[in-house]
Amino acid sequence: MLSCYITDRSQFPGGEAERRSRLLETIRECAAAGVDYIQLREKDLTGRELEQLAREALAAVRAAGAARLLINHRTDVALAVGADGVHLTGTDIAVPDARAVAAEVRAGGGFLVAVSCHSAEEVRQAEAAGADFVVLAPIFEKVKEKRAAPGGEARREGIGLEELRRAAQNRTPSSGARPLFALGGVDAERAPLCAAAGAAGVAGIRLFQQEPDLTGLLRRLRGI
């Protein structure tokens, strides 16, 4: 089973300098342990700040292992620092546009484009558009849902294993080699359930940032 660590330095204690240091150390540890993909997802940073952090993250990845680094949202930053690819959300540019921009800057291809999806239909659309892999979420955990009514927020359950299974079963024949990742409340105990439903990998923040034994975790995931 493949693995994808999604970063969030805000979950670390301390000030900005300490959180940044902890984040880079976790990136190094994940790369050294054998995590397949690392998605730098620090959405509060300016473009310049993200670029600087991305350069440090890429250096940590290259020094420690064979993980591939993707930058969340910012295709331009990913290309500027020499990252392996970009991770797009539903509000970002389309997959073909990201790939076209990358082709103008990076000769020879090799630029990965991953996409966040929230339903089986979105998975089908992303793969049809040419995404290299998709991340379906949230599978298990509850998520906040804003609304205009008094109270301001409601909570709903994750989309569940049935939607993950549907996404895996409804793929086109040409998408078979493109990994489908499960995200949202996934832990080592739930990972086998995701694999049985058709996921090729699992993604998470806490799954990796709060794991004291990354090598052991990766060994368990690879055995699924």
Measuring CA to CA, which residue among 61, 69, 64 is closest to residue 86?
A: 69
Architecture of the domain whose range is 2-115+178-222: Alpha-Beta Barrel (3.20)
Task: Please give the average pLDDT of every successive group of 10 residues along the chain, which has 224 residues.
Answer: 98 97 98 97 97 98 95 97 96 95 86 97 94 96 55 68 95 73 96 97 96 96 94
Residue-level pLDDT at 107: 74
**Does a cis peptide bond (omega within 30 degrees of 0) precede residue 192?**
no
Residue-level pLDDT at 68: 98
The domain ranges of the chain are: 2-115+178-222
Tokens, residue 155:
């909570």
| pTM confidence score | 0.92
Distance CA 211, CA 62 (A): 22
Residue-level pLDDT at 141: 77
Residue-level pLDDT at 208: 97
Tokens, residue 69:
């680094």
Distance CA 182, CA 14 (A): 30
Checking 40-45 for CB contacts under 8 A at 24+ apart, the result is: 40/7, 40/69, 40/70, 40/71, 40/72, 40/83, 41/6, 41/7, 41/8, 41/72, 41/87, 42/7, 42/8, 42/9, 42/72, 43/72, 43/73, 44/10
